[in-house]
Chains A and B, each alone.
Chain A
Amino acid sequence: MSWLLVFPIAVPFVTAVLAYLVRMSFWGRWVSLAGSVVTLIAAIALTVAVLREGVVAAQMSNWDAPFGITLVADYLGVVMVLITAITGLATAIYALGEIEVRLEKLGYHALFQTLIAGVSGAFLTGDLFNLYVWFEVMLIASFGLLVLGGSRAQLDAGLKYVALNLVSTLVFLSGIGLLYGLTGTLNMADLAGAVAEVENQGLVTVIAMMFMFGFGVKAAIFPLFFWLPASYHTPSFAVSAVFAGLLTKVGVYALMRMFTLVFVGDVGFTHEILIWVSAATMLTGVLGAAAQTDFRKILSFHIISQIGYMTLGLALYTPLALMGGVFYLVHHIIVKANLFLVSGVANKLAGHTDLNRIGGLYKSSPVLAALFIVPAFSLAGFPPLSGFWAKYLIVKAAIEIDAWFIAFIALLVGLLTIFSMTKIWGMAFWKPHPDGIDPTPDRVPTRIRLPMMIPIVGLAAMTVVIGFFPEPFVVFAEIAALQLLDPEAYVTTVLGERP
């Protein structure tokens, strides 16, 4: 039983080791692909177990909680692991076409699999310090992936990314230290009870703000997002897709976990701050995107604005809002990773990502145009795509508690998102190519084009499926939200029945 929780982390790690040892031959990419498939199978097996039992927990090396390291999966955790495995598989297929042999020899596949292991670990751990360790595993792999290849822009972006993420990590670490000093435990389920008994609740709120800062930098919320648009457009497209899909979401997940399980003593203060931060995040992200003319920079700014919706779901702190937040999280990973993958194909066909220097993609490659429309309109919240239901739930939750202003901002940001998406549509797909090039698919050999298109089709299909049949996904998100709001099952599964 406990091994189900281990495999989504252990399989990518083993794959990373194997892929590194064979990195000089063409086997590396196939090892990586096979590892991603096995990871997906492991994630599905874990999902089945969680669907059957509600919450699954395991104690590593037979040390009982709260002393040992606990791995635990509830509905939120397991859906994140599943979506991580799906995104990992999609980008592993995509990498077959995009990643050059030069990068493979530097160890691209090993770093990529380590990143997946780190992300899965962060979603599954039930121990605060262990969460820090997984953050670091993820971080060091992402550093390597970001600067792999070593162009000038990558080095410049890498420095900013590394510097700001290290600061956030250190603040997070200090927060862990202080929390341990107050409660004497680091097990999250144990903390849920221990924090409530602390006499000095003021200090708990201070620590909560340190965590909000630490996770906030990772999640790229206002005003801590500057590293994201400075770096996400520089690495290879497969890397930026997996960054855009997963990395910031780990920050959002950590916020959701800590601010529903542990820091719920002063909701009126902490979550109120988060509401206004979310509103500012949504607005600045979408306005920043409006000023950009680069395919990937527009998408990067949109990550920020979308993060605002997810943290808003947490900040409103009602069952409906959290449900919307969870739904949004899953929908966003699929859609955003897909958009970055599309931008990679557009770059291959038309030769650039600067929208002023490309065009004519609709005429020459209508299939790609159709595949762009699906995630782009889903991002903006068009019915009947997945983004519509996500936005609908959040806005409805805001209206339900009479937060009219927030609901207004959320709708306005959706409108401005359409503006950015139509800008990409108009400049990259509709207008003729400025250099008179005809960017037909023949410009890219099938050997490269096919692996790049398969994941895009697959992810777009998922978006459509969620859009047309939202019922099971909404029910799933609802149970996840109820588990977050009432962590009784989570706590008893981890700690065992207490007399």
Chain B
Amino acid sequence: MNSIIFSAGARLLVALLLVFSLFMLLRGHNLPGGGFIGGLIGAVGFIVYSLACGPAEAKSALRISPEVLGMVGLGIALLAGLASLPFGDPLFTGQWYWVGGDSYETAAFSINSVLVFDIGVYLVVLGGILSLAFAFEEET
């Protein structure tokens, strides 16, 4: 696709989409959103980029191969699930550590395994969709 308008616009669009995908990932913590939808939006960003500049360019922008990205994400999600092992809870029970307080009302923010799981899902979806998309784009 050799359109100057598209490739110039794509740069702006890709940056916006990637930021928006991170926003969706973090928003999903308490509101609709989350790792899955965030990963989809992020993948759309890279697909737009690869349409504008070619899959090779998009791959080098991603730096890691999408398959590895997906597998790392799966590993992170699994670790988040297994994190409840030392605390004696069943698999995938959310583990929360409140900073500056001891509950949702008083704490400034929290460190928890749920967000880690969401980040894992984000990477799995991003990696999975992109590996498929790149495979199709290269073959045609």
Binding site for B on A (CB under 8 A): 2-3, 6, 10, 13-14, 16-18, 20-21, 58-62, 107, 110
Contact = CB atoms under 8 A, between A and B. Distances in A.
Interface in B59-113: 67-68, 71-72, 74-75, 78, 81-82, 84-85, 89-94
Contacts of A13: 74, 78
Contacts of A59: 90
B71 A61 contact: no
Contact of A61 (B72, B74, B75, B93): B93
A62 B90 contact: yes
Nearest to A1: B90
A6 B78 contact: no
A220 B78 CA distance: 33
A61 B68 contact: no
Given A10-B78, A10-B82, A21 B91 contact: no
A38 to B, nearest CB: 14
Contacts of A2: 90-91
Contacts of A10: 78, 81-82, 91
Interface residues of B, number: 17
Interface centre among B71, B84, B93 (most CB of A within 10 A): B71
A255 B75 CA distance: 32
Contact of B94 (A3, A20, A21, A61): A61
Nearest to B76: A17
A108 to B, nearest CB: 14
A6 B71 contact: no
A20 B93 contact: no
Q: Which of B75, B91, B93 has the most CB of A within 10 A?
A: B91
A13 B84 CA distance: 17
Nearest to A13: B78
Contact of B71 (A3, A17, A58): A17
Given A3-B85, A14-B78, A60 B71 contact: no
12 contacts: A3-B91, A10-B78, A18-B75, A20-B68, A20-B71, A60-B91, A60-B92, A61-B84, A61-B89, A61-B93, A61-B94, A110-B71
A2 B91 CA distance: 8
B78 A61 contact: no
| Residue of A16, A59, A62 with most chain B CB atoms under a 10 A cut-off | A62
Nearest to B93: A61
Chain A, interface SS category: helix
Given A3-B85, A10-B82, A21-B68, A58 B75 contact: no
A290 B85 CA distance: 53
Nearest to B70: A20
Given A10-B78, A58-B91, 12 more contacts: A2-B90, A3-B85, A3-B90, A6-B91, A10-B82, A13-B74, A17-B72, A21-B75, A58-B90, A59-B90, A60-B91, A61-B91
Contacts of B67: 20, 107
Nearest to A20: B71
Contacts of A18: 75
A61 B94 CA distance: 7
A75 B42 CA distance: 46
Contacts of A110: 71
A20 B71 CA distance: 7
A17 B90 contact: no
A21 B75 CA distance: 10
6 A-B pairs closest in CB distance: A17-B75, A61-B92, A20-B71, A61-B93, A2-B90, A6-B91
A66 to B, nearest CB: 16
A16 B67 CA distance: 13
A61 B81 CA distance: 9
B92 A21 contact: no
Nearest to B90: A2
A265 B81 CA distance: 39
A62 B94 CA distance: 10
A107 B94 CA distance: 31
A17 B74 CA distance: 7
A14 B75 contact: yes
A383 to B, nearest CB: 45
A60 B84 CA distance: 11
Nearest to B74: A17
A58 B89 CA distance: 11
Contacts of B89: 61-62
Contacts of A61: 84, 89-94
Contacts of A58: 90-91
A62 B67 CA distance: 32
A338 B71 CA distance: 32
Nearest to B73: A17
A110 B71 CA distance: 10
Contacts of B72: 17, 21
Contacts of A21: 68, 71-72, 75
B134 to A, nearest CB: 16
Which of B71, B81, B90 gathers most chain A CB within 10 Å?
B90
A110 B74 CA distance: 12
Given A17-B71, A21-B68, A21-B71, A60 B78 contact: no
A16 B70 CA distance: 12
A100 B93 CA distance: 41
A14 B82 CA distance: 10
Nearest to A3: B85
A298 B85 CA distance: 47
Contacts of B93: 61-62
